[in-house]
């Protein structure tokens, strides 16, 4: 029996400088035609933002694919050789492991994270995973016409905040909590902030446990600013029951005090990450921080000291 590895298609992502090729990533394309089309579309958006290029090469390994691409570039410039630039990312290239199609979905995720969010009509659990492989960003659970708009806002908001977008296979699942029989698509942009934070946590740029005990609602601007989505008062009322902390656009805090929720206002994505990383959404003596019990935020049944004092003062 022959152990020869059959050739397969690889996508090579990088930038041709005219004097060398900066390799950003190389990975096998999905064998499923639909997944392949989605992956190449996502890669096209990413490299257009970064002024890069993508090439499809059929070879037996990542190294062979890159070497073949370099020979093609050398021929196009009329040179005998064409080298990789010193700034190239060589992890996939130097591994030089032949890739079997059957193994393409067997990678363990780099990380997972989840957080709560909502629209005017429904609550949602936002779960993100970051998996080794071709760099794509997929959203599962939004109505058909919304994923592209959401991906563009979230990706631009992250990059324009000075943060790194994960060069990995990123999947975000948006699962409704409870019945959604009467739910509409109104205010879907309010999930942006939760999606961005869960992606960054899954990719290791924010500890995943920082998301515990908080809900996030806010539309992301292309500059990373946090904007007010439609139907925010109803959304916050849905999330803020039982003393749950809700991170919202700073410009809306005053108008939301009637909801009774524990509100934390943020003006941009970086500020939201600072709040989460510092656990500012927790009271100083929250149940998690002062005991070995499971992580829970301050609630009406187990309030923190400031809330107890406030309730006592109000009852006098």
d(CA 124, CA 216): 10
Predicted confidence at residue 20, as pLDDT, reads 92
For the whole model, what pTM was predicted?
Answer: 0.61
Tokens 């003393």 locate to 243
For every residue of 3-28, DSSP letters joined together read: -PPPPEEEEEEEEE-SS-EEEEEEEE
The pLDDT tens digits for 259-304 are 777 888 999 999 999 888 877 777 656 665 665 555 555 555 566 6
Residues 185-220 have pLDDT tens digits of: 667 899 999 999 999 999 988 888 888 878 999 999
What percent of the chain stands above pLDDT 90?
Answer: 32
pLDDT digits (tens, 9 = 90+) for 230-266: 888 888 887 866 667 889 999 988 888 887 778 889 9
- The overall average pLDDT reported for the chain is 81
pLDDT for residue 101 = 43
* 3-state DSSP assignment of residue 249: strand
Place of tokens 């946590």: 201
**Predicted confidence band of residue 172 (pLDDT cuts 50, 70, 90):** very high
> pLDDT band at 179, cuts 50/70/90?
low
């Amino acid at each position: 029996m022959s152990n020869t590895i059959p050739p397969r298609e690889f996508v090579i992502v990088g930038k041709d400088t005219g004097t060398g090729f900066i390799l950003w990533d190389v990975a096998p394309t999905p064998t499923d035609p639909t997944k392949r089309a989605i992956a190449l579309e996502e890669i096209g958006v990413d490299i257009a933002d970064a002024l890069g290029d993508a090439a499809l090469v059929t070879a037996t390994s990542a190294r062979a694919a890159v070497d073949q691409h370099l020979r093609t570039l050398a021929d196009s410039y009329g040179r005998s050789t064409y080298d990789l630039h010193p700034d190239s990312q060589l992890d996939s290239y130097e591994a030089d492991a032949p890739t079997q199609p059957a193994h393409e979905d067997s990678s363990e995720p780099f990380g997972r994270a989840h957080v709560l969010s909502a629209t005017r009509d429904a609550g949602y659990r936002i779960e993100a995973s970051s998996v080794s492989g071709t760099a794509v960003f997929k959203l599962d659970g939004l109505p058909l016409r919304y994923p592209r708009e959401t991906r563009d806002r979230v990706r631009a908001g992250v990059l324009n905040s000075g943060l790194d977008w994960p060069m990995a296979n990123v999947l975000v699942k948006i699962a409704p909590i409870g019945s959604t029989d009467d739910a509409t698509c109104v205010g879907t942009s309010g999930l942006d902030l939760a999606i961005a934070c869960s992606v960054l946590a899954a990719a290791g740029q924010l500890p995943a446990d920082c998301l515990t005990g908080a809900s996030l609602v806010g539309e992301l601007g292309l500059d990373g600013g946090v904007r007010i989505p439609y139907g925010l008062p109803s959304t916050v009322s849905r999330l803020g029951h039982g003393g749950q902390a809700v991170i919202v656009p700073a410009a809306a805090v005053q108008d939301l005090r009637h909801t009774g929720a524990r509100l934390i206002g943020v003006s941009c994505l970086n500020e939201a990450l600072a709040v989460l990383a510092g656990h500012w959404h927790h009271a100083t003596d929250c149940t998690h921080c002062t005991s070995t019990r499971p992580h829970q935020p301050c609630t009406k049944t187990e309030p923190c000291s400031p809330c107890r004092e406030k309730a006592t003062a109000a009852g006098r």
